[in-house]
């Protein structure tokens, strides 16, 4: 999505129940949400946050990272527009979304750090890659030691 008019139209279409698929060159659900909101002038931010909170169903974020064999493997983050996420968007508390993702394994959401831990435990990435990319090393180190 490039311009504010296109983004606004996409958000309005999503809110009305249309399937809207978009790509952005940004990793992480909270970064995507912040980027969408920040593109607009501050006087529009309440309206945009409302549209986003009502229309968002899912964000799938993917980044290719080095695997153990010298190739690349996708690192994913999956966030659903559940009520807790929608409320945080509407209340301009996007920074707290990462905590909701990390604590919501039962809703099939997947945080970057949880996926990194899974990839490491399955022998797909090195410990160096794990350490370099983990956002919360303490949490990840606990996960991989289980």
Taking the CA atoms of 52, 53, 56 and 59 in sequence, report the sign of the dihedral they define: positive
Task: Name the domain count of the chain.
Answer: 1
- Could you tell me the CATH number of the domain that includes residue 91? 3.40.50.300
pLDDT number for residue 102: 80
Domain range enclosing 26: 4-145
Rounded to the nearest 5°, which phi and psi values hold at 44?
-100, -5
pLDDT tens readout for residues 34-77: 999 999 999 999 999 999 999 999 999 999 999 999 999 999 99
First to last CA, the chain: 41
Given pLDDT bands bounded at 50, 70 and 90, which one contains residue 105?
A: low
The Cα angle at residue 121 between residues 116 and 126, in degrees rounded to 5 = 65
């Amino acid at each position: 999505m490039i311009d504010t008019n296109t983004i606004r139209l996409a958000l309005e279409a999503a809110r009305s129940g249309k399937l809207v698929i978009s790509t952005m060159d940004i990793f992480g659900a909270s970064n995507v949400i912040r980027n969408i909101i920040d593109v607009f002038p501050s006087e529009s931010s309440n309206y945009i946050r409302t549209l986003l909170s009502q229309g968002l169903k899912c964000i799938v974020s993917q980044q290719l990272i080095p695997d153990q064999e010298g190739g690349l493997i996708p690192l994913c983050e999956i966030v659903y527009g559940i009520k807790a996420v929608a409320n945080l968007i509407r209340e301009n508390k996007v920074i707290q979304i990462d905590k909701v993702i990390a604590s919501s394994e039962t809703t099939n959401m997947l945080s970057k750090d949880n996926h990194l831990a899974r990839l490491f435990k399955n022998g797909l990435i090195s410990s160096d890659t794990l350490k370099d990319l983990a956002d919360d090393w303490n949490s990840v180190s606990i996960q991989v030691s289980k």
